[in-house]
Structure 1
Amino acid sequence: MRLKRRYLITVIVGCFVSWNLLTYYMLTSKQPIKEPQTVKDQQQIETKLSQLEREITNQLKNNEDLLKDLKHLKNDISSATSPPPELHEDIPKDDVLPILMFACNRVTVSRSLDQLLKYRPSAEKFPIIVTQDCGHQPTATVIKQYVEKHGVKHIQQPDLREISLPWPQRKFVGYYKIARHYKWALNQIFLAFNYSAVIIVEDDLDISPDFYEYFSATYPLLKEDPHLWCVSAWNDNGKANLVSDEPELLYRSDFFPGLGWMIERSLWLELGPKWPETFWDDWMRHPGQRQGRECIRPEICRTSTFGKKGVSNGLFYEKHLKYIKLNEKSVPFTKIDLSYLKKETYDKNFVKKVYDAPLMTVTEVVLAAKPELPAARVQYNNKNDFKAAAKKLGIMDDYKAGVPRSAYRGVVSFVFRGRRIYLAPPQTWKAYDPTWS
C-alpha cells in the first residue's frame, strides 16, 4: 500500500514538473521580437506581449490549483491508508465494535474519553477512534495523551477548507462542516478500516456504566433483523420525570434518535454515496432514507450530553437536554433474552398493550383521575391534537418527517406522575404523514 501511494504521488509530481518544463520551453523558444519598424508592428508586438502575459498568469494559476489538489490528495491518501487499531487474534473482525468519537475544538474531550476507558470491558473488542475536525491544536494535544497512554487512535479530517454559502445560509456553515466530517470519518471506518459496524459518539457525551453491555447485546438483533437500521442509546423523552425506574426496558422506535448510536457497514454503503451536504440527522429521518426501518432505544438513556455550547448555540439544552436522566444501574443485557424485540413478536404485544389500556383525556391525566389505573391511553386524531397534548404532558411536541420523537406506530410511550401513558392515534392508524412538521 505504501509503494502504491509513493508511486501515485511520484507520478503526479512528475506530471507537474514535466508540465512546467514544457511551459518554460514553449515560452522561451518563441522567436525574438524585432524592433518595431512601424506603428502597426508596434501594435502587433504589444498584442503578443499581452497575450503572453495572460498565458503566464493562467499557467501560474493552474500551477497553484495543481499544487492544492496534490496536497489534498496526499492528505487523503495518508489518512485513508492509515491502519486501524490492532486487533486481538482471538476476536473475529465481525465481532469488533469500534467506538468512533467525533471531536472538534473541545478540550473537554478528555471527560468523554475517561468514561469510555473507565467502563470499557475489552480494548480488543471496543477499539476507540477519535476523529477530529477543525484542526484545533489544544484539543489535538489532549487527544494525543490518550493515544500515547491508552492506545486510542486519532485520525484528522484533512479537508478544512471554508464552505462558501449565500448570506441567508451562512449561519448554518457549522452544520455543513459536520456533515462533511461525518462522511469522511465513516468512509474511514467502513471503507479504509473495513469494520462491520460502528458505535458513534460525540465529544460532549457522558455514558452509563452498562453502555458497552447495551450495545453488545443489541448488536445481534441489528444484524439479524432487516427491519432494524440502528440501535441508539438515547430516548428523546428521557427526562427523569418521564421515565420509569426500569432500566432494562427497551423499545422499537420509528424515530432516529442519534446521540450514541450503532449502524452496520451495509447501511453506510447505502447511505454514504448520497450523503447530504448538511443537516444529516434530519435527512436520515426522511422516508427516502428510513424506508420504514426502525431503531432500538432504551427507556432510560445510556448517554447524556454536557455540551451546552456548539453549532446549535445551546438550542434545547437549558430547556430540555440537561434534564435527561442517565442510567446508573448496570443491566446484564447479554444475559437477558431480548427476543421480545423481534418485530413480529414486539408488534403484536405492543399493539395489544397500548390499545388495551383504558382511554383517558389529557385533563384527566393531568388531574390524576382514576389513580388505580397503572396505565392509560390518550388519543390524538391530528397534528394539533398531538401538539396540544404533548405540551400539557411535558413531552417533545415536534415532528421530523411526520414522526413524533420516540414514537412507534404513531405511539409515544412515557411516564406521567408515576403512570404509564400512551399518547396514541386511533387503532386504525396506517402510516405517518410526512407533511406534519
Structure 2
Amino acid sequence: MRANKRLLFALGIVGFWTLLTYFIVIKNYDYNQVDKSKFHEKVVFLENEIKKETKNRKEIISRYQNLIRILNTKSITTTSVNSENALLELESNQNKPNSKIVFNGLYLDNDLYKPVIPIVVFACNRVSISRSLDLLIKYRPNREQFPIVVSQDCGDEATKEVILSYKDEVQLIQQPDLSDIEMMPKDKKFKGYYKISRHYGWALNTVFSNGFEFVIIVEDDLDVAPDFYEYFLGTFPLLRSDESLWCVSAWNDNGKSGLIDENAPELLYRSDFFPGLGWMMSKKLWDEIGPKWPKAFWDDWIRKPEIRRDRVCIRPELPRSRTFGKIGVSNGLFFEKHLKYIKLSETFVPFSTKDLSYLLKDNYDKTYINEVYRTPVVTFEELRSGLVKVDGPVRIQYNSRNQYKATCRNLGIMDDFKSGVPRTAYAGIVSSFFNNRRVYLAPSTNWKGYDPSWE
C-alpha cells in the first residue's frame, strides 16, 4: 500500500503542477504588457519546462512501478523488514552495476568490415576518468559498434559515481575480488602491480566470455585522438588476417615533437616491441595467454620471447593515445621526463579507406627493411654537426648494447629494453627524427636477433 500511495502522490504532483502553471501564467497573462513575440517565447519556454518536469516525474513513477513489481514477486513481510527500508534496499540493488554486458552480435548488419569491438576502460580511483570517457564518447562514431565497458577495481565510490553519471553511454562492471594480497615484506611495494594484473585477468575473461572476438583496451588516464576509432577500424582486417600480428596499438614510445614526422599522420609501422596504452587484441590470443596470465607485471610478461613468439604489433608514427596519469602505481615513472611530451595526433586520417597491405609481413619485410639498409651510414657526430652531404633518411649503425644506449641518449629517444627488444624496434631497427631528418638506428646486416640479456 505504501508504494501505491507513492505512485498516486507522484501522479498528483504532475497534474497539479501542470494546472497551476496554466491558470497562473496563461489565464492571467496581460497581453498588453509585452508584445506577442515575448509572450510566445515565454509560452514556449514554459512548455519545454513542463515537458522536462513531466519526463522527470515519469522516470520517478517508472522507478516505483518497477519496485512495486519486485515487491509483488518477493515475500517481504513487515515482520522481517520495514517496508520503507525494503524499498530503499531494492532501489539500491537496482542501481548496482553487474557483470552482465550487452552483446548485440559480432558485426553490424552482418558486414565483416563493421566489427563490434568493445572499448574496455580499466579504472580504479581516478575521478579524472571523466576526461578519458568524454573523449571516447565524443569521437565514437557508433555506440552499437563500439560499446564502452568500464571495469572498475578498488571499489572507490567517488569514481563509481562519476562512471554512473554517464548512464547508458557506458556499461560499468566491477571487479568482485577486492581482497588483500599476501606478500613478503620486501615485495609489498609491488602490491599494486599484483592487483592490476588480477583486475586485467578478470575483466578480459568477463568481456570475452560475452561473445566478443576483439576488444580495445584503454586505461583511465588516456586521451585519444580524433581518429582513434578510425585507426582501429582500418587496421582491424590486418589483425584478423595476418597470423604474425597479435596487437594493434595507438601508442608510440618515442612519439614526442621533434622525434617524429608530424607531417605523416598516416604512417604506420610493424613493431616487435609491445607498446600497450590503447591497444586491440583478439579472443584467439586471449584463449592462448589467458589461462597462464601472470600474477603481476603482465605487460613485461607479455613481452617475453616465449609469450610473444616473434609476433608483432602495428603502431603509428603519430600517437593516437597520450597518458595524463602522472600519479599511479608507477609513481610517475618517466612522466615528467618523457610521457607528458608525447604528441597526440590532431589530424583525422580515414584509415578504413586506405590500402594498408604494405603492413603485412611479406610486403613490409621486402620494402621497409630494404629501404632502411639502402640509406647511407653516418655517425651521430656527423649528423649533429651538419656534415651529412646527402638529403633524406640516414642510418646510424650499432653493434653493442652500450653503443645503442649511447646513441639513443644522443638522439633523445628512450634507450631501455624489455626482454632484449628496444622500444618501437622492428628487426632491431628503431626509426626517429633528428633535426628534421629521418634517422634509422639499426644493427649491422648480419644481425642474429634480439639478445634477452640486453636490459
TM-score normalised by structure 1 residue count: 0.79
1:219 aligns with 2:236: yes
SS of the aligned residue for 1:241 comes to coil
Who is 1:101 aligned against?
121
Q: CA deviation at 1:198?
A: 0.2
The range that moved more, 87-96 or 238-247, is 87-96
Who is 2:449 aligned against?
431
Runs of 4+ in 1 over 2 A off after TM superposition: 83-94
Letter aligned with residue 438 of structure 2 = R
Q: Are the structure 2 counterparts of residues 183 and 121 from structure 1 closer, same or farther at C-alpha, using a change threshold of 3 Å?
A: same
Letter aligned with residue 272 of structure 2 = D
Who is 2:219 aligned against?
202
1:271 aligns with 2:289: yes
Q: CA deviation at 1:362?
A: 1.4
In the alignment, the residues of structure 2 paired with residue 333 and residue 274 of structure 1 have an alpha-carbon distance, to the nearest angstrom, of 34
Who is 2:131 aligned against?
111
Matched ranges for 1:204-353 at <5 A: 204-244=221-261, 245-353=263-371
In the alignment, the residues of structure 2 paired with residue 93 and residue 357 of structure 1 have an alpha-carbon distance, to the nearest angstrom, of 43
Q: Is the 8 A contact 1:237 1:414 kept in 2?
A: yes
Letter aligned with residue 189 of structure 2 = K
SS of the aligned residue for 1:240 comes to coil
In the alignment, the residues of structure 2 paired with residue 89 and residue 293 of structure 1 have an alpha-carbon distance, to the nearest angstrom, of 26
Who is 2:143 aligned against?
123
TM-score normalised by structure 2 residue count: 0.76
Q: Is the 8 A contact 1:91 1:124 kept in 2?
A: no
Letter aligned with residue 327 of structure 1 = S
Who is 1:390 aligned against?
408
Q: Is the 8 A contact 2:108 2:145 kept in 1?
A: no
In the alignment, the residues of structure 2 paired with residue 93 and residue 186 of structure 1 have an alpha-carbon distance, to the nearest angstrom, of 25
Who is 2:160 aligned against?
140
Q: Is the 8 A contact 1:300 1:325 kept in 2?
A: yes
Q: CA deviation at 1:405?
A: 0.1
Q: Is the 8 A contact 2:137 2:169 kept in 1?
A: no
Q: CA deviation at 1:241?
A: 1.0
Matched ranges for 1:177-188 at <5 A: 177-188=195-206
Letter aligned with residue 169 of structure 1 = D
Letter aligned with residue 150 of structure 2 = V
In the alignment, the residues of structure 2 paired with residue 346 and residue 99 of structure 1 have an alpha-carbon distance, to the nearest angstrom, of 29
Letter aligned with residue 232 of structure 1 = S
Unaligned runs of 5+ in 2: 1-96
In the alignment, the residues of structure 1 paired with residue 400 and residue 108 of structure 2 have an alpha-carbon distance, to the nearest angstrom, of 54
In the alignment, the residues of structure 1 paired with residue 152 and residue 110 of structure 2 have an alpha-carbon distance, to the nearest angstrom, of 28
SS of the aligned residue for 2:281 comes to strand
Q: CA deviation at 1:164?
A: 1.4
Q: Is the 8 A contact 1:197 1:262 kept in 2?
A: yes
Q: CA deviation at 1:373?
A: 2.1
Q: CA deviation at 1:91?
A: 3.8
In the alignment, the residues of structure 1 paired with residue 289 and residue 410 of structure 2 have an alpha-carbon distance, to the nearest angstrom, of 38
Q: CA deviation at 1:184?
A: 0.1
The range that moved more, 423-432 or 226-235, is 423-432
Q: CA deviation at 1:335?
A: 1.1
In the alignment, the residues of structure 1 paired with residue 293 and residue 415 of structure 2 have an alpha-carbon distance, to the nearest angstrom, of 28
Q: CA deviation at 1:370?
A: 1.8
Q: Are the structure 2 counterparts of residues 343 and 372 from structure 1 closer, same or farther at C-alpha, using a change threshold of 3 Å?
A: same
Q: CA deviation at 1:188?
A: 0.6
Unaligned runs of 5+ in 1: 1-77
SS of the aligned residue for 2:258 comes to helix
Who is 2:425 aligned against?
407
SS of the aligned residue for 1:422 comes to strand
Q: CA deviation at 1:92?
A: 4.1
In the alignment, the residues of structure 1 paired with residue 177 and residue 136 of structure 2 have an alpha-carbon distance, to the nearest angstrom, of 27
CA RMSD of aligned residues (A): 1.5
In the alignment, the residues of structure 2 paired with residue 289 and residue 270 of structure 1 have an alpha-carbon distance, to the nearest angstrom, of 9
In the alignment, the residues of structure 2 paired with residue 92 and residue 283 of structure 1 have an alpha-carbon distance, to the nearest angstrom, of 36
1:369 aligns with 2:387: yes
**Which of 344, 365, 377 in structure 2 is aligned with 1:359?**
377
Q: Is the 8 A contact 1:254 1:295 kept in 2?
A: yes
In the alignment, the residues of structure 1 paired with residue 334 and residue 372 of structure 2 have an alpha-carbon distance, to the nearest angstrom, of 29
Q: Are the structure 2 counterparts of residues 371 and 300 from structure 1 closer, same or farther at C-alpha, using a change threshold of 3 Å?
A: farther
Letter aligned with residue 217 of structure 2 = I
In the alignment, the residues of structure 2 paired with residue 365 and residue 284 of structure 1 have an alpha-carbon distance, to the nearest angstrom, of 36
Q: Are the structure 2 counterparts of residues 88 and 268 from structure 1 closer, same or farther at C-alpha, using a change threshold of 3 Å?
A: closer
Q: Is the 8 A contact 2:106 2:212 kept in 1?
A: no
Q: Are the structure 2 counterparts of residues 92 and 142 from structure 1 closer, same or farther at C-alpha, using a change threshold of 3 Å?
A: farther
Q: Are the structure 2 counterparts of residues 87 and 107 from structure 1 closer, same or farther at C-alpha, using a change threshold of 3 Å?
A: farther
In the alignment, the residues of structure 2 paired with residue 213 and residue 336 of structure 1 have an alpha-carbon distance, to the nearest angstrom, of 11
Q: Are the structure 2 counterparts of residues 391 and 326 from structure 1 closer, same or farther at C-alpha, using a change threshold of 3 Å?
A: same
In the alignment, the residues of structure 2 paired with residue 130 and residue 386 of structure 1 have an alpha-carbon distance, to the nearest angstrom, of 40
Q: Is the 8 A contact 1:377 1:421 kept in 2?
A: yes
Size of the aligned set, in residue pairs, is 356
